[in-house]
Copies of this chain bind each other. A is one copy, B any other.
Amino acid sequence: MPAAKRKETTAHVHSPAIEDYLEQIHNLIEGKGYARVVDIAKNLGISQASVTNMIQRLDAEGYVVYERYRGVIMTESGKKIGQEIARRHEVLTRLLSGFGLDPKTVHEDVEGMEHHISRQTLDVLTLLMEELEGNPELLKKLKKRLKSSS
């Protein structure tokens, strides 16, 4: 493979589905200490059978360690991805929520967008979020403009 054709940074890219599973497992472990199939399924709105199936793939690919009927823990590489997605989720949510959008709409948009944000774009969005959170004057001005145009 010619060097020119290689992805710089060995850009392991995962499907949105895989990212959603790892994000959920990460959040559950963070929040209650463990991640059960039934809760993952509930949070993602899919069947338990689908969750079991994916967990086996995640184990095979080294993102979690899985023991039949016993539960799942995350490997370092799995944790890294889960955290990364949770971070994007948070930045997007805070940015959009600042403008007073309907929380449900925010969540739907965030849940999709979070899988398509490079490091550079994340930096930009973080910057905008910070500026708006630290500069209420600006936010207020923009929100007014937003309302007048709706």
Chain A residues proximal to chain B, CB less than 8 Å: 96, 99, 101-102, 105-106, 108-109, 111-113, 115-118, 120-121, 123-124, 127-128, 131, 138, 142, 145-146, 149-150
Q: Which residues of B contact A138 (CB under 8 A)?
A: 138
CA–CA, A96 and B124, complex, Å: 8
Question: A145: nearest residue on chain B (CB-CB)?
Answer: B127
Main secondary structure of the interface of A (DSSP, over half): helix
CA–CA, A29 and B101, complex, Å: 35
Copies of this protein in the complex: 2
CA–CA, A109 and B122, complex, Å: 10
Q: Which of B116, B118, B124, B149 contacts A123 (CB 8 A)?
A: B149
Contact B131 A102 (CB under 8 A): no
Query: Measured between C-beta atoms, what is the minimum distance from A144 to chain B in Å?
Result: 10
Q: Which of B118, B127, B142 contacts A109 (CB 8 A)?
A: B118
Q: Which residues of B contact A108 (CB under 8 A)?
A: 116, 118
Contact B116 A112 (CB under 8 A): yes
